[in-house]
Structure 1
Amino acid sequence: MARPKKTDVPDTAQAMELSAGAIERLTCRNDIKAQAFLRDTKVPGLRVRVTNTGHKSFVYEAKLNRQTIRRTIGDVRTWTIEQARTEARRLAVLIDAGINPGEQERQQQAERAAKKATAAAQTVTVGEAWLAYVAERTPRWGERHAHDHAVLTRAGGEPFRGGLTVAGPLHPLLALPLKELSTATIETWAQREGQHRPTSARLAWRLLRAFLSWCAEHPDYKTIVPAQNPAKSRRPVRRWAKPA
């Protein structure tokens, strides 16, 4: 049998030691949607895949629990043959250990996303969480209850009857990081607000308590707020005059 010339298109039925020239000459039928694979003899499982569009990439293929595992390593224009062989050997070690590389990668991505979300959550302010709370709960509230939430958190300083509106009792808390909304912080706030507007402060305290209960059950905030609602302490309320 005549030895194939170096200028011939590689025979994909036979494995060979991959070379830049063989990869360059590798072709695939372009009249149908198809792909062809050229196997490497140095690293079992390593292949070069060519599609009917001419795109070529390194892939690794092996069996795991009688299931074919195929992982794309990268474009042949980006990866060298030796780099592809190194990555193929790494994947082979995982599969030999019974680990599906795709599942491992998805798990690692999920872990990274969870860590990123946790880190981002630590910087969430009370105001940002409050906006999410109001957006979710407003459809279930009556008009007056929704109005109370808006009034008690307003910034103030708007023209009203010849003067300016006063900031709502909850407004000073909105700029705080949610993780700092502790019992001590709330009691200090409540004592200050209750001295000159006890009725509004009492209502604000009830709304704050409901808000923190919602945070404790929300997946984005439950790891930030304490398990015991910090607004459930009634010590500041006992100092306020009872509402008429």
Structure 2
Amino acid sequence: MAKIAFTAGRVSGFKCPPDKKQAFMWDVTAPGLGLRATPAGKPAYVFQAVYQGKDIRITIGSPTAWSIPDAQAKARELQRLIDEGKDPRGLKREALAADAARQVDADAQALTVGNVWPLYLAQGKPKRRDAWKPGYRADLEAMAAPGGVEKKRGKGLTRPGPLFPLLALPLASVNEDSLKSWFDREAQGSKHQAARALMMFRGFLRWCSARPEYRKLTDRDAGRAAAIVESLPSNIRRTDALESAQVPGWWAGVEQLSNRTASVYLRALLLTGARREELAAMKWADVDFQWRKLTIADKVEATRTIPLSPYLAQLLATLPRTNEFVFASTGKAGRIADTRASHAKALQSASIEGLTIHGLRRSFSLLGEAAGAPAGAIAQVMGHKPSATAEGYRPRSVDALRPFLEQIEAHILALAGVQFDPKAEPGKLRAVM
């Protein structure tokens, strides 16, 4: 190879003949340094040498970025590596890989909770379920909402959700200290709301820790640190329920409500032990008057089917069919949403204090036991997770459950002083004197 001394003029004027695929010009000063040009591409400095008996060639860079002295120094550096028995190509690959790894690490460190949160909503469904329960999904979205929209009730704009401040944090920086600081701020407004938000965020951290791409960035136990747990409000399990002596007063108060739908809904809660949202979402298509069955959305399974007891069948048949929902409403949802105000009126007339809507569910369980129904049958009607510890639990068919639910209904009606003709046509309740 003919060699010449590289000068600025020679380098800038070097071209590849159009009849060749590439052309080289070699430097006399730095062994192995050359300038490569192609007909269509831009020239580039290259280094060529022999390593372990084989020719190797490495691209250094463009003459616009490398001065001649710098390119010559780089060529000498590469030659020294070969003299030391090192392959400069491998070192270059390692350097590029290290740079790429550093960039990946930098990108990962910059990944925020807000970047991952939408993926959690889309992919973080609970085990053994096809999707989030709609209510819980809505709560997750509300907890992380930025706020600033018109309130549906009242005037003004909504406030950011409790989890919204966490969205700006890098996932890698979510630790005991950052969560404690966040919780203390949120707890100033509502400690119970902050505690609920923390429980939801723990679920998010568990999901992240199970994903290979987020595992190294996630401190799964950050939300369980002693400093945070000690600040949580005491979790006092509610035990409110109707006593047998209170049933007549409660029933009379609910029966006299001016809101007929709320009146039937509250009594249906007591007669089925269903969760309030399960019953509120029930549609007419879920009510089978012919075969006396109800299909209810379930917390554990997708749905559960229970018997439609005689008195409840007649109660439901008296409701107007204004839309697809059994407990219809003129509100946006089209169904009953909040009956606390109606329930409070009934409680006031009966002089009963502290009974929540969920307390009616506990009342069904306790009154069912008093009626002599098996614990397993009560649990199945209520949609409790099956347990083999009580009564040697075994699932029963709807027909097998029917006598027990009718037994419970009869006991509750007897306590309430209600008499009716079970053979009356649905929708025509007839008192029995």
TM range (shorter): 0.5 to 0.7
The answer (yes or no) to whether the contact 2:6–2:27 under 8 Å persists in 1 is: no
Paired with 1:82 and 1:58, the residues of 2 have a C-alpha distance of 12
**For 2:153, which of 149, 158, 161 is the aligned residue?**
161
The answer (yes or no) to whether the contact 1:47–1:60 under 8 Å persists in 2 is: yes
Paired position in structure 2 for 1:50:
37
In the comparison of the two structures, how many residue pairs are matched? 228
- Aligned-pair distance for 1:77? 5.9
**For 2:143, which of 147, 152, 158 is the aligned residue?**
152
**For 1:181, which of 166, 171, 174 is the aligned residue?**
174
Q: Which has the larger radius of gyration?
A: 2
User: More strand by proportion, 1 or 2?
Assistant: 1
Paired position in structure 1 for 2:18:
30
Paired position in structure 1 for 2:234:
239
Paired with 2:172 and 2:23, the residues of 1 have a C-alpha distance of 56
Paired position in structure 2 for 1:142:
132
Paired with 2:167 and 2:14, the residues of 1 have a C-alpha distance of 64
Paired with 2:12 and 2:179, the residues of 1 have a C-alpha distance of 70
Task: Provide, for residues 70-93 of structure 1, a one-character-per-residue CA deviation record: whole Å limited to 9, x for no partner.
Answer: 122334466454433222111112
Amino acid at match of 2:154: G
Say which is worse superposed, 232-241 or 204-213, in terms of deviation: 232-241
- Aligned-pair distance for 1:61? 1.0
Say which is worse superposed, 78-87 or 188-197, in terms of deviation: 188-197
- Aligned-pair distance for 1:193? 4.2
- Aligned-pair distance for 1:28? 4.3
The answer (yes or no) to whether the contact 2:16–2:38 under 8 Å persists in 1 is: yes
Paired position in structure 2 for 1:229:
221
Q: Identity rate of aligned residues, in percent?
A: 32
**Do residues 210 (structure 1) and 203 (structure 2) align?**
yes
Instruction: With the length of structure 2 as denominator, give the TM-score of the two structures.
Output: 0.42
**For 1:171, which of 146, 160, 164 is the aligned residue?**
164
SS in 2 for 1:37: strand
Paired with 2:170 and 2:62, the residues of 1 have a C-alpha distance of 46
Amino acid at match of 2:18: N
Paired with 2:215 and 2:203, the residues of 1 have a C-alpha distance of 14
Q: Is there any run of 5+ residues in structure 2 with no aligned partner, and where? A: 239-357, 359-433
TM-aligned CA distance change 1:91 to 1:217, over 3 Å: farther
SS in 2 for 1:212: helix
